[in-house]
Structure 1
Amino acid sequence: MGGITGLIASTLPILVLVPINNYYGLTPALLAALGVAVVIFIWRAARKESLQPAFNALFGVVIGAVVAWLTGDARGYFLYGIWVSLLLFVVAMISIVVRWPLVGVVWKGLNGEDMSWRSVPAARRAYAVATAGWAVVFIARFIVQNALYNDEATGALAAARILMGWPLTGLVLILTIWMVRRANAAVDKNGAEAHEH
């Protein structure tokens, strides 16, 4: 997730955007947010750290800035994230319904492992619980932030974006790790039982 510098990369542009927009207007605010994201990217590159978190943050800032510029409103900066949250909720729920829980697919895919866990009901259930945890976070972000967007509460929207970002992600990561361990244990148990027979 990028650790502390990943946290900085995702929150500093938002912390810069809102006050500069309030005092100097939209264009300086967007330029400042983009500038901060670029500086963080260069800083991570100079320190030879992983660029993925900084790149993700920079990509998000660019998309947010483009939408805000097109809408002519600083609130537009948050639209991309709001609607991506709804999309991710829908994808997560569909993955559970069709018995391909997204957490299992992503976790095993990132580790270059096969999808044989799907034939173990206990493992599939564990991954479904983890996926449901992410789905709850995604829909909560959408509901709260979309309501604040519609209320034109830009400052509160920025605060919600930060508060519903890392803290909620941290909680659902704990759930995910717990469920991944349960899924792995179920797969190992199933393999041992199959070997005995």
Structure 2
Amino acid sequence: MSMTERQDGTREDDEATTGPLPVVGKSGKAGASKDPAEMTLLEHMGGPMGFVYSAIPVAVFVTANAFLSLSLTIGIAVGSGLALFGYRLLRGERFAQAVGSLLGVALASALVAVTGSARDFFAIGIWASLAGFVLTLGTVLARRPVTGVVWNLVHGGTHDWRADRPTLRAHDLATLAAALVLGSRFAIQQWLYVTESTAGLGIARVLMGTPLTIVAALVVVWAFRRSTKRLIPAGR
């Protein structure tokens, strides 16, 4: 803490006249830190590379299935999952986050090995989308949209966010956006599953993965920021 000397010989604290120093992030630029709820959301999504990691095994499986036997296709898909798992660990990612993609590929491949049908590589994801749609829509109907519940938990669980109508409406919209993404994934991919279009399922999985997730995430981040602005005093 530095001091400056006034003309009358007294000294005063620089901070008292200039105010506190701004918060500086890792980039060296001044600015406020990110909302912890936003950081939690981004971490669970795995960042931009998380979308790439989820698309690679799908592309590998569909491509291999077009030219190779089912047993070789399964082996190559699992091999790609193992390679991604090792690569993510080498990059310093957490074990729980890195192993998620491997488990997904392993479970999907195991189901294909049991049923003998390549389209079953996508079955778990299809039914997971349906379950997610039912759950997210259910929280809106119960007047406890899940995005608001998550925001409140991250901020200590002490805010009466449901009593603030603009905040509740924001989380209704954010949760409905997530439900719409999940519901559309189920509807389209289930139709492709019934028509036995394995290549179509692979394309739909990729196209309805990253783009739609980003759109829904933008709405959720907007709801988080709106909640923080309305319910948490500035400076806290």
TM-score bracket, normalised by the shorter chain, equals: 0.7 to 0.9
Question: Following TM superposition, by how much is the alpha carbon of 1:92 offset from its aligned partner in structure 2, in angstroms?
Answer: 0.5
The reply on whether 1:103 has 2:143 as its aligned counterpart is no
1:44-193 equivalences in 2 (<5 Å): 44-109=88-153, 111=154, 113-114=156-157, 116=159, 117-188=161-232
User: Any unmatched runs of 5+ in structure 1?
Assistant: 192-197
Q: Does structure 2 retain, via aligned residues, the 8 Å contact 1:37–1:54?
A: no
User: Any unmatched runs of 5+ in structure 2?
Assistant: 1-44
Structure 1 letter corresponding to 2:79? G
- Provide the C-alpha distance between the structure 2 equivalents of 1:91 and 1:171, rounded to a whole number of angstroms: 19
Alignment CA distance shift 1:36-1:112 (3 Å): farther
Q: Does structure 1 retain, via aligned residues, the 8 Å contact 2:112–2:118?
A: yes
Q: Secondary structure, in 3 states, of the residue corresponding to 1:16? A: helix
The reply on whether 1:13 has 2:51 as its aligned counterpart is no
Q: Secondary structure, in 3 states, of the residue corresponding to 1:114? A: coil
Aligned to 1:23: 67
- Provide the C-alpha distance between the structure 1 equivalents of 2:126 and 2:151, rounded to a whole number of angstroms: 24
Q: Does structure 2 retain, via aligned residues, the 8 Å contact 1:130–1:175?
A: yes
Structure 2 letter corresponding to 1:123? T
- Provide the C-alpha distance between the structure 1 equivalents of 2:97 and 2:54, rounded to a whole number of angstroms: 8
- Provide the C-alpha distance between the structure 2 equivalents of 1:4 and 1:33, rounded to a whole number of angstroms: 22
Question: Following TM superposition, by how much is the alpha carbon of 1:168 offset from its aligned partner in structure 2, in angstroms?
Answer: 0.4
Relative to the length of structure 2, the TM-score reads 0.74
Structure 1 letter corresponding to 2:179? A
- Provide the C-alpha distance between the structure 1 equivalents of 2:85 and 2:155, rounded to a whole number of angstroms: 28
CA-to-aligned-CA distance 1:7-58 (integer Å, 9 cap, x gap): 2321111111112122222121111111111111111111213444432221
CA-to-aligned-CA distance 1:41-84 (integer Å, 9 cap, x gap): 11111121344443222121122112222221110010000011
Larger radius of gyration: 2
Structure 1 letter corresponding to 2:129? S
Name the % identity.
Answer: 34
Structure 2 letter corresponding to 1:15? A
Alignment CA distance shift 1:145-1:40 (3 Å): same
- Provide the C-alpha distance between the structure 1 equivalents of 2:146 and 2:48, rounded to a whole number of angstroms: 26
- Name which of 78, 91, 105 aligns with 1:34: 78
